Structure 1
Amino acid sequence: MATFRKRSGRWQAMIRRTGHPQLTKTFNSKADAAKWARQMETQIERQLHLPSHSQAQMPLSELLDRYCAEHLPRLQGHVSEGYRLQHLREQLGHLKLAEVQSHALSAYRDRRLAEVSPASVKREVALVLRVLRIAALEWNITLPAGIPAVRLPKVANARSRRVTDNEIAELTSHTASPIAAKAIQFALATGMRRGEIVRAKWSDINLAERTIHIPRTKTDIPRHIPITERAMKVIQKADSQGGDLLFPIEPNSLSQAFRRACKRADIKDLHFHDLRHEAITRFFELGLSIPEVASVSGHRDYRMLERYTHISKKHLSERIEQLSRI
């Protein structure tokens, strides 16, 4: 139902309907506002009572566009998700809902596997399935073929790439952006994710307790992590005049600076996320328990930490030697 109110000499129309985003628009007259409201309410009614045959002919692009408008802004990784939605719209958007079946998504999966990594394909296909589930559960859309059953590619995410202090020194010396260089050092010192680092604020730091608060995390569970001596040195070198952000740099800009530095320093097969992997591995080498490391890294499933325990042969030999003397 539409409501109207006068603000600063103009009329604002507002439409609220369960299962639909709130619609608002401002007009010079109440008559224009009422006319627009009637048009919008008619469109909503048509969508709610759309015959099954018409829904079967609806292109997938309409669902992708609605997901982009209503759900994408709330996601932390909305930039990457936006690129995936754009690609899916170009490749699959023309399909009618009646055509979005298992064989169509399986064919897309196999075709994409020849172009990009299994992890990328898995994220794309999973995104299509997520949009379809939301359409069925929240938007009253009847899916003629239901939710397609499609096998997602297997992904071997485990990496054993270690990062040496020499590589970090080379990397930071070849980083054109001083902010990016400090962020790289901070990632290795704390094990924080890229998104957590670029969102870190000066107000999140508690110097008295030597902790940094991370309110927004991948697992949606805020956490406090200790500030090590290495991390403290990075904080002391950071520019506090650049606003509230500890490292005022965009996530993609940080990744780009990292890749360019690797190229200049001739460092092969190194990803920004490997810094987090290295930090967590070093926490284990220091003797921290799995629960202790999990409280720092933010892992909810302790089994996920098994892939981080790539203890170096040198460290293992030293530990065994120490134990043999007991």
Structure 2
Amino acid sequence: MATIRRSGSGWQVLIRRKNYVGPRSRTFLSRDLAQSWADAVEERTKKVLNVIPVTLGEAINDYINGPLLLHRSAENEKYPLRVMAESWLGDIPLNDLQIKHFAVWRDKRLMKVKPNTVMRELRILRVLIDWARDERGAEIKNNPARHLRVRGTGDARAPFFTDQDEKKLLYELSQLSNKNHLRLTKLALTTGFPRSELLSLTWRNIDLKKKLLYIYRKNCAATDNSSALRLVPLPEEAQKILEELQRRDGKVIELSKGSARHGFDKARKKAGLETLRFHDLRHIAISRMWRCGMNALEISACSGHRDIKMLMRYSHFQLSI
């Protein structure tokens, strides 16, 4: 099922099993580590998805080890699902699930997190239960999670960000030893890309002559497991930032997710912007696109939004001050 071969100074594992769901290659420093990972994958494929799930907890575990592996936001969704699987809710048989069970879960969650967070987790549950019924053959008459409502959701975040705030933030970022933190934030303010897309951006995705970015993005695991190509016009300011870089191979921004988060948080706190989040830069960039006279089709090409309603949640004219 797995092939292990030399790859540079390490060992690469290639998974060749048909219909396998998960990462198909990984590189390790030693052959022993590579063999251990290959054995673990093979053992998991024998156990996972061979029995119809009975309880919600079993369905959650199957989903985590199945479609969720290819979901672009898998890491963010995995934690609340595991907590749910280990709670009282995970012990309930799928055919006994009722809306009252999810109502109790919702009310307890609302005591700890905001309504929009509960709504995001509920959407994951809806897709998961549909998947367990339609693709795993679980005995579920209807999906009670689809009938549950969460009050207080739908209020789009509208961060207030002035030109002076931007100067403070960029100054504090410029004081960091790694200049990639400053480049990352500047690119976010000009392109409107989320942090994950910027960190995964390579020079192979960029054509400076044609002023285009080629972005490959995984579709939602609930839809399919393919990747879609998006052609994004390269903003003038972003092109200037990229042209200043001497090295043009590998990743454009050499930062890990943790390092990028830590650097931005450190700079925003020093700048006195306690409530600012990196994702707010996406709101700000898209709002500035509206102010510059771009239409919805042009902005959606840059932002990647397929739904005009979602695009409008990121549009706040008052942010461009």
- Using structure 2 for the length normalisation, give the TM-score: 0.73
Determine if the alignment matches structure 1 residue 247 to structure 2 residue 253.
Answer: yes
Query: Is the partner of 1:174 in helix, strand or coil?
Result: helix
Q: Name the counterpart of 1:89.
A: 85
1:161 is matched with 159
Output the CA distance in 1 between the equivalents of 2:306 and 2:181.
29
Moved more, 62-71 or 232-241: 232-241
Q: Of 252, 256, 275, which aligns to 2:281?
A: 275
Deviates more, 1:279-288 or 1:211-220: 211-220
Q: Summarize the Cα distance change of 1:70–1:306 in structure 2 as closer, same or farther, 3 Å threshold.
A: closer
1:26 matched residue in structure 2: none
Gap runs ≥5 in structure 2: 5-15, 23-41, 221-226
TM-score relative to the length of structure 1: 0.72
- Are residue 234 (structure 1) and residue 231 (structure 2) matched? no
Q: Could you tell me which residue of structure 2 aligns to residue 75 of structure 1?
A: 71
| 1:304–1:132 CA distance, 2 compared to 1 (3 A) | closer
Residue 139 of structure 1, CA deviation? 0.8
Tell me if 1:263 matches 2:260: no
Q: Identify which of structures 1 and 2 has the higher relative contact order when contacts are C-alpha pairs closer than 8 Å and 6+ apart.
A: 2
Say whether the 8 Å CA contact 1:238–1:247 is kept in structure 2: no
After TM superposition, give the deviation of residue 181 of structure 1 in Å. Answer: 2.0
Q: RMSD over aligned Cα, in angstroms?
A: 3.3
Shift of 1:308: 4.3
Aligned residues: 274
Specify the structure having the higher radius of gyration (Cα).
1
Q: Determine the C-alpha separation between the residues in 1 that align with 2:258 and 2:199.
A: 10
Which residue in the other structure is 2:168 paired with?
A: 170
- Structure 1: 5+ residue stretches without partners: 8-13, 23-35, 49-54, 316-326
Q: How big is the shift at 1:238?
A: 4.2
Query: Following the alignment from structure 1 to structure 2, what is the Cα–Cα distance between the partners of residues 113 and 157?
Result: 16
2:231 match: secondary structure: strand
Cα 1:137–1:314 shift into 2, 3 Å: closer
Contact 2:287 2:320 (C-alpha < 8 Å) held by counterparts: no
Q: Distance in 1 between matches of 2:212 and 2:274?
A: 33
C-alpha distance after superposition, 1:276-326 (max 9, x if no partner) = 1111111122222222222222222334443444334997xxxxxxxxxxx
Q: Counterpart of 1:320?
A: none
Cα distance in 2 between the residues matched to 1:275 and 1:170: 14
